[in-house]
Amino acid sequence: MDIRGLIDSFFNVRIMLEYLPALGRGLVVTVEIAALSLALGLTLGLILAVVRVSIKRKGTARVFRLLNVPLVFYIDSMRALPPLVTLVVVYFALPYLGVYISRFWSAVSVFVLVLGAFGSEIFRAGIESVDAGQMEAARSQGLSYLQTMRFVVVPQAFRVALPPLTSRMISITKDVSLASVIGVADLLKEAKVGIANTYNTSPLIAAAILFTLLFLPLVRLSAFVERRMKE
């Protein structure tokens, strides 16, 4: 094996430095998509979880109960489909239906949909783990159903939901690099441009290092959260 050739085309410091500004721009886009997807996806997940728990209550009109069917279908399909497939379908197939969404927003909406589905399952498990007595006590104190959810149940559910939620959030943020496949100018896309311009793989390695620096603290954090919650 040609070791010097390998080092030259993977760890060429000059090329890495030359492409660092472009990679930095890509990193900003990656972080933007990640932040938007996390904020919107978690909100969607929490709302869906509360809706699903609420319509399961006794005395809910049948019309509302039927809402469960499309919700389960949406959640299950997002859990079954690889995010890349959803992304490709949204970006390449929707224009045929006359719906045009920019690359950036196609990516954001797919990640929001995916995180919303996973998040709603995690939040729902959290809400259901809160003892029924909490709901009864709060209601008998005169709080409305939504107030009880907001101030009593959801805060307690958060504690249970936190470990699985952090690991799911990390996996969604890692998926952001899939956006490069539909041409979003994220970190990975900038690295690909660098490879195409220089016939050298070093920009990709530089991007991998940046990704690792970005995610390693998060991976450690999630391991920490999981350990803390067990105790």
Partner 1 sequence: MSKSWKIISVGLTNTVQLAVVALICAAFLGLVLAIIRGLKIKVLNFLIIIYVDLFRALPTIVLFMIVYYMLPFFGLSFPLFWAAVVALTINGAAYYEEIFRAGIEAIDTGQWEASRSLGLNFRQTMTHVILPQAIRIVIPPATSNSLELVKTTVLASVISMPDLLYKAQQAAGLWYNPTPLVLAALIFLAMLWPFVRLTSYLERRMV
Q: Which of 5, 59, 70, 142 binds partner 1 (CB under 8 A)?
A: 5
CB of 230 closer than 8 Å to CB of 218: no
CB of 194 closer than 8 Å to CB of 22: yes
**Alpha-carbon span 222 to 166, nearest angstrom:** 6
Q: Which of 28, 35, 39, 93 binds partner 1 (CB under 8 A)?
A: 93
| Count of chain residues binding partner 1 (CB under 8 A) | 49
**Alpha-carbon span 130 to 154, nearest angstrom:** 9
Q: Which of 46, 48, 204, 206 binds partner 1 (CB under 8 A)?
A: 204
Tokens at 148, concatenated? 């009880």
The residue range among 14-22, 102-110, 131-139, 187-195 that interacts with partner 1, by the rule CB under 8 A, is 187-195
**Alpha-carbon span 27 to 21, nearest angstrom:** 10
CB of 176 closer than 8 Å to CB of 34: yes
Choose between 148 and 202: whose C-beta lies nearer to partner 1: 202
Interface residues toward partner 1, by CB under 8 A: 1-2, 5-6, 9-10, 76-77, 79-86, 88-89, 92-93, 96, 121, 125, 129, 170-171, 174-178, 180-181, 188, 192, 195, 201, 204-205, 207-208, 211-212, 214-216, 218-220
